[in-house]
Chain A
């Protein structure tokens, strides 16, 4: 059972990691947590469903289209929920994003709701489970895991090697200085939100074959991605990845060994304990008070 739980844990963990990365990249650039992030994931999943199941397009094509559409949606979110509120207190931005998330959720229910609440997504890889010396491996899970790792790799490469990625890093570190060297900071912000949304959608499309597509997936996912990011010391991309994998593993192990009803809650118990003992997160910097 343990190997199976570990693989499951790593698989869901990889998706939490991907979603958390999207959250963190927006936070690093704009110091705002995008509370519509979960719903961007959700829409990504529904879009993939539309492209792949309803329009019968290929899986990879659907993935690309869904990610592109989510990128646009991310730009829209920034325009509606962030830009007009740049000078408002932080909680206003949070609530505006939340308002937008409700609009997205309601819209999804209206548009796709008629087809049933929980929509199944066909598996990408139809081969049955492989038994490898006592280890049962489900190819679909491995494909998802591989896909997620590839996405993370692409994302990191984009961020560190491309010109746009470096501009995003510069803006995240010091917006004023970035402006002074000619970087169009507001465009970078918008693009950052788009990229964040795109990662969420990618995660959704990868995840879709393993579970259902449904409108309410956004909230719990946001909470877990947030938890993963905080565990990793909010503001660190590698930390978010580690946090995501940690939560995936904790969840599956608790669900397997204790009780399935413990799946959702175990991660939170761990987080509460970690934050009480180490307030800056497990992988974050040790906090010292400086003036």
Chain B
């Protein structure tokens, strides 16, 4: 297959390994034995019709809902059973389907909070405002400004999170997740509700995150065009199971995927690829 110029593909050593993960909520099976391996500096798109289990997969990986069975490892560290905050401290970042910025903070404060796990501040230092604390705060603010510049939002640092537009908030959320230098970033529908211009920006932002910072991205998206364009590989879920996985070009023409989205009857009448 021709197409995109060759670039270093995902390394053979997987960063995030999900093996046979299953979870049910009150009798309804959300995930039914899903396997997934994410390499270093790889963008993996995860798509599938509504209810396929995509967000559940993210929730299970980051520890919000422990799976009923299966293993998950991040650089060989087992994640199942750990608290979400511990998993995050080990280098897993995440954004949410409904943006979860801290409404009581400015943009800069929001992003600085992202450094929580790496901040060198002790309780006594905080209470007495020690030199060490002042330095740590200044450094945190500087790093936050850096990340804001990286995502192109440096002008907004003093604005309250609630004053930003929907699209701007989503970009800030990514910046906040990025500042702690995670190894894996889980993005839950970053393009939802965005204008075409913004989607293009998010697309290029994700590439820069992968190329300049070496972060692996697991991306849930419904905007198929974006997923096809930016992903190195795509995993397709349907009814809690993986039904296809491969390069975007292959997924586009995969019969099982088409059927999952469009249904059997339509497939019978669809034109040849």
Identify the A interface with B (CB < 8 A).
288-291
A289 to B55, CA, bound (A): 13
Give 1 or 0 for each of B94-108: 1 = CB within 8 Å of chain A CB: 001100000000000
Residues of chain A contacted by B65 (CB below 8 angstroms): 288-289
Instruction: Tell me whether A291 and B26 are in contact (CB under 8 A).
Output: no
A10 to B16, CA, bound (A): 59
Give 1 or 0 for each of B52-64: 1 = CB within 8 Å of chain A CB: 0001000100001
For residue B98, which residue of chain A has the nearest CB? Answer: A291
A203 to B67, CA, bound (A): 48
A289 to B59, CA, bound (A): 10
For residue B62, which residue of chain A has the nearest CB? Answer: A291
Instruction: Tell me whether B97 and A291 are in contact (CB under 8 A).
Output: yes
Q: How large is the interface on B (under 10, 10 to 19, 20 to 34, 35 or more residues)?
A: under 10
Residues of chain B contacted by A288 (CB below 8 angstroms): 25-26, 65
Within 8 A of A (CB), among B16-33: 25-26
A289, A290, A291 pick with most chain B CB within 10 angstroms: A291
Residues of chain B contacted by A290 (CB below 8 angstroms): 25
Smallest beta-carbon distance A89→chain B, Å: 11
For residue A286, which residue of chain B has the nearest CB? Answer: B26
Instruction: Tell me whether A291 and B64 are in contact (CB under 8 A).
Output: yes
A288 to B27, CA, bound (A): 13
A290 to B59, CA, bound (A): 9
A291 to B96, CA, bound (A): 9
Task: Name A's interface SS.
Answer: loop
Smallest beta-carbon distance B253→chain A, Å: 33
Residues of chain A contacted by B55 (CB below 8 angstroms): 291
A290 to B23, CA, bound (A): 13
A288 to B68, CA, bound (A): 14
A291 to B64, CA, bound (A): 9
Instruction: Tell me whether B26 and A289 are in contact (CB under 8 A).
Output: no
Smallest beta-carbon distance A87→chain B, Å: 13
Instruction: Tell me whether B25 and A289 are in contact (CB under 8 A).
Output: no
Residues of chain A contacted by B25 (CB below 8 angstroms): 288, 290
Residues of chain B contacted by A291 (CB below 8 angstroms): 55, 59, 64, 96-97
For residue A285, which residue of chain B has the nearest CB? Answer: B26
11 A-B residue pairs with Cβ-Cβ distance under 8 Å, sorted by A, are: A288-B25, A288-B26, A288-B65, A289-B64, A289-B65, A290-B25, A291-B55, A291-B59, A291-B64, A291-B96, A291-B97
Smallest beta-carbon distance B29→chain A, Å: 14
Residues of chain B contacted by A289 (CB below 8 angstroms): 64-65
Within 8 A of A (CB), among B87-132: 96-97
For residue A288, which residue of chain B has the nearest CB? Answer: B25
A289 to B84, CA, bound (A): 12
Smallest beta-carbon distance B81→chain A, Å: 15
Smallest beta-carbon distance B160→chain A, Å: 16
A189 to B156, CA, bound (A): 39
A290 to B65, CA, bound (A): 8
A289 to B25, CA, bound (A): 10
A253 to B55, CA, bound (A): 49
For residue B26, which residue of chain A has the nearest CB? Answer: A288
Residues of chain A contacted by B97 (CB below 8 angstroms): 291
Smallest beta-carbon distance A5→chain B, Å: 39
Residues of chain A contacted by B96 (CB below 8 angstroms): 291
A288 to B25, CA, bound (A): 8
A291 to B55, CA, bound (A): 8
Residues of chain A contacted by B64 (CB below 8 angstroms): 289, 291
Smallest beta-carbon distance B87→chain A, Å: 15
For residue B25, which residue of chain A has the nearest CB? Answer: A288
Smallest beta-carbon distance A45→chain B, Å: 43
A290 to B64, CA, bound (A): 8
A291 to B60, CA, bound (A): 11
A288 to B56, CA, bound (A): 13
Residues of chain A contacted by B59 (CB below 8 angstroms): 291
A288 to B65, CA, bound (A): 9
A291 to B25, CA, bound (A): 13
Smallest beta-carbon distance B48→chain A, Å: 17
A289 to B64, CA, bound (A): 7
